[in-house]
Amino acid sequence: MLRDPAPRPARRRPPQRSLRQEYEEFILQRIEDFKDQLSRDQLLGIADEAVRELEVDPAEQLVLTEVVMLEHVDRAIMRRLNLPAFRRWRARHVRLRHAQREPTHWGLSGSSPLTAFGPWEEVDGIALVVGARAIPASLYFAAYEWTVVFMEREGHAVEAAEARAAAEALAANYEGCVVVPGSGWFPELQAALVVVDPVCLIGLELDAVDAFFTHLEASTVPHGVHCILPVDGDDEIVLLETENFRARYAGWKQDSMPHRAEWLVAEKS
């Protein structure tokens, strides 16, 4: 991690959600995922089941509004999915989140420079992660309550990342988007941390790569940090080696620690 060359602006991550809020988001996400898998007839069948339940006790004199119907449909789905009550979910969730904050949970090396940024406090909470090899790092950041935007030019990689985030109960602060570097479109954001897998740039024209890094720099807050993952020495990607990126960060403070020479870690001035 870069040493602090100068005082950073006072920026703090947004207040963390309560466990109750996370639980409600977890339940809602599971219910919506289940609904997405149902045909219209299957969903109407569950609605009929909810109506019959409402008619069991006429003494309640419920007014069958759309809101009441939706609530009972969701309850019926919760039973079908055997979703846990808050207390049981909380005990399991706390253990899971603790495990997710260990780099090894995601297959990351404990010596990776990326691990220092999980609990990093002096940020405004947005991490932009680019490229399929960086998916584990993106999920590691999400476990620390970063707001993560994951970008890739291949849609299947974005879908895989979002599916993993959902399975790990991290979907609430995780967003994937398909972006072709140099295409002209780039999401509007200001990130405190940017992580790039250079392999996702293979096959692109130099102009497209230049435009992509221009977007990355413009989307980074002052004193934000960029991390470029190291690559293998294959002939196909030799031009993506760390030394070939250093010139792009000539005006940034670069990490020069010898044991991390294969990484590029740079702080925006």
Is residue 28's pLDDT more than 60? yes
Convert the pLDDT of each residue in 59-95 to its tens digit: 554 555 666 677 778 888 888 888 888 888 888 888 9
> pTM for the complete prediction?
0.74
Q: What are 3-20's pLDDT values in tens digits?
A: 333 333 333 445 566 778
Measured in residues, the chain has a length of 269
Q: Is the pLDDT of residue 227 over 90?
A: yes
Question: What CATH number labels 104-267?
Answer: 3.40.50.150
| In contact, 248 and 213? CB cutoff 8 Å | yes
One DSSP character per residue, the chain reads -----SPPP---PPPPPPHHHHHHHHHHHHHHHHHHTS-HHHHHHHHHHHHHHHTT-GGG-----HHHHHHHHHHHHHHHHTPPPHHHHHHHHHHHHHHHTSGGGGT--TT-GGGGGTT--SS-SEEEEESGGGHHHHHHHHHTT-EEEEEESSHHHHHHHHHHHHHTT-GGGEEEEE--TTSS------EEEEEE-GGGGTT--HHHHHHHHHHHHHTEEEEEEEEE------GGGGGGSTHHHHGGGTTSEEP--GGGTTSEEEE--
Tell me the C-alpha distance between 88 and 84, whole Å: 6
Domain boundaries, given as residue ranges, for the chain: 19-87, 104-267
The pLDDT-based confidence of 260 (bands split at 50, 70, 90) is low
C-alpha–C-alpha distance, residues 54 and 61, integer Å: 9
If we measure between CA atoms, which residue out of 245, 256, 259 comes closest to residue 194?
Answer: 245
Per residue in 89-131, pLDDT (tens digit) is 888 888 988 999 999 999 998 888 898 888 876 555 799 999 9
Separation of alpha carbons 160 and 76, rounded Å: 29
pLDDT per residue as tens digits for the range 146-166: 999 999 999 999 999 999 998
Q: Which residue has the tokens 């980074």?
A: 220
